[in-house]
Amino acid sequence: GDSVTQMEGPVTLSEEAFLTINCTYTATGYPSLFWYVQYPGEGLQLLLKATKADDKGSNKGFEATYRKETTSFHLEKGSVQVSDSAVYFCARSNDYKLSFGAGTTVTVRA
Amino acid sequence: NAGVMQNPRHLVRRRGQEARLRCSPMKGHSHVYWYRQLPEEGLKFMVYLQKENIIDESGMPKERFSAEFPKEGPSILRIQQVVRGDSAAYFCASSTSGTEVEQYFGPGTRLTVT
């Protein structure tokens, strides 16, 4: 079935550090890929998305590139802030269904 | 423009009671999805509804769980005779159509079964 595997956390970083969260997906069909972010006590917010191979999604300094050859969609940010502390979910679509990874908790220390 | 609204935000039920979770989609959205997030896991698809129709309930347990999205009013996820294993966060999302479009999520309802 459709599945998403993402790097386990928790991840703790200092401010201005580089962040990478790995994500791989099953290659069935032609999915769109997403990164969602969940701040404490809130619902999921779409962070970025890519709909086809080689697309790069970007938002708020975060980037991820749809790599069909490695079935990956790794999330990166060059310089994190305390406000980036949250849980990050990688997801793929199968038509209307979203399949999520288990989430990676990121804590950024001042 | 209000986002997806869910209530209650927190719900405590004793084993055997019923839980009713409500979801009001964003204005103009007629497609609703329910997902469940068990502790330490990602969200899992449960059911997809349009107004007055269940489109796909393949992710919903066969027993005790039901969902509806009436012509008027919010979508309801109903869990009868709750058990401890039902304790989870239940998220609702909505979209303008059902194919490859962004789903907007609500804040979730955290159900605790004691």
pLDDT of residue A43: 83
Q: For B37-78, what is each residue's pLDDT tens digit?
A: 988 777 899 999 998 899 999 999 999 999 999 999 999 999
Residue with token string 């288990």: A102
Q: For A18-68, what is each residue's pLDDT tens digit?
A: 999 999 998 777 889 999 999 987 888 999 999 999 999 999 999 999 999
Q: Residue B34: closest CA among chain A residues belongs to which residue?
A: A97
Nearest to A44 among B59, B91, B98 (CB): B91
Nearest to A96 among B40, B44, B99 (CB): B99
Chain A residues with CB-CB distance to B under 8 A?
A: 4, 32, 36, 41-46, 49, 51, 89, 91, 93, 95-103
Query: What DSSP string runs through chain A?
Result: ---EEE----EEEETT--EEE-EEE--SS---EEEEEE-TTS-EEEEEEE-STT-EEEETTEEEE-BTTTTB--EEESS--GGG-EEEEEEEEETTEEEE---EEEEEE-
- pLDDT tops 90 at residue B93: yes
- pLDDT tops 80 at residue A82: yes
Number of helices (H), then strands (E), belonging to chain B: the values are: 0, 11
Comparing CA positions, the residue from A101, A104, A90 lying closest to residue A12 is A104
